[in-house]
Amino acid sequence: MELKEAQEKFISAWGAIGTHWGINRTMAQIHALLLISNNALSTEDIMSQLNISRGNVNMNVRELMSWGIVHKVLKFGERKEFFTAEKDIYKTAIQILKERRKRELIPILNLLGELQSENIQESGGEHFKKVVGDIHQFGESTNKMLEKMVKADEHWFTGSLMKFLVKK
């Protein structure tokens, strides 16, 4: 297999995974392209390699930067901006967990907390409160677990957590 073919397979698969996790295909493909690129790429590099428009690249690259997994790189003597992806996959994973915790878990925990503290007397209210309470508790546990993982250094995964989970 040629390098180019292998790269295309990888980019395509990464894009497909993204769609399964609520990430748009192009954003995931740009991430994949930057991961496998040795050097930082310009907007035009990305446009031509993925065959997409300037506006599309701009939007998705900025989204990737807002997730903290792609960074702007300025090269001496060059006016244009280049982009590079964090290459340490553990750091990337933790960064994504961190952001999803902030953007998704915390808000739902707040809602669940509010719903739980409502004074609902109607019939059926008990079952509702039980379900909400259970999910809230589960969410809080997940939240604590993520806090722990995110605070640890990037070696938590291969370190003691993995030893605990896999070997024991």
Partner DNA sequence: AAAAACTTTCATTTTTTTTTGAAAGTTTTA
Partner DNA sequence: TAAAACTTTCAAAAAAAAATGAAAGTTTTT
Q: Which residues bind a copy of itself (CB under 8 A)?
A: 1-3, 6-7, 9-10, 13, 17, 19-22, 35-38, 87-90, 93, 100, 104, 108, 111, 115, 118-120, 122, 124-125, 127-128, 131-132, 134-135, 138, 141, 144-145, 148-149, 157-158, 161-162, 164-166
CB under 8 Å to 13, separation ≥6 — which residues?
32
Contacted by 56, from a copy of itself, DNA, none: CB < 5 to 8 Å by type: DNA
CA distances 16 to 12, 58, 125, 132, Å, are 6, 21, 41, 33
158 belongs to the binding site for DNA (CB under 7 A): no
Transcribe 24-55 into DSSP letters.
-HHHHHHHHHHHH-SS-EEHHHHHHHHT--HH
Cβ 157 to a copy of itself, closest distance in Å? 6
* Residue 51 near which of a copy of itself, DNA, none (CB within 5-8 Å, type-dependent): DNA
Q: Which residues contact 60 (CB under 8 A, 6 or more apart)?
A: 24, 26, 27, 30
Q: Minimum distance between the CB of residue 82 and a copy of itself, rounded to whole angstroms?
A: 16
CA distances from 77 to 67, 74, 80, 81, 166 (A): 28, 9, 9, 11, 50
Residue 153 touches which of a copy of itself, DNA, none (Cβ within 5-8 Å per kind): none
* Chain positions contacting DNA, by CB under 7 A: 19, 24-27, 42-43, 51-56, 58-60, 62, 78-81
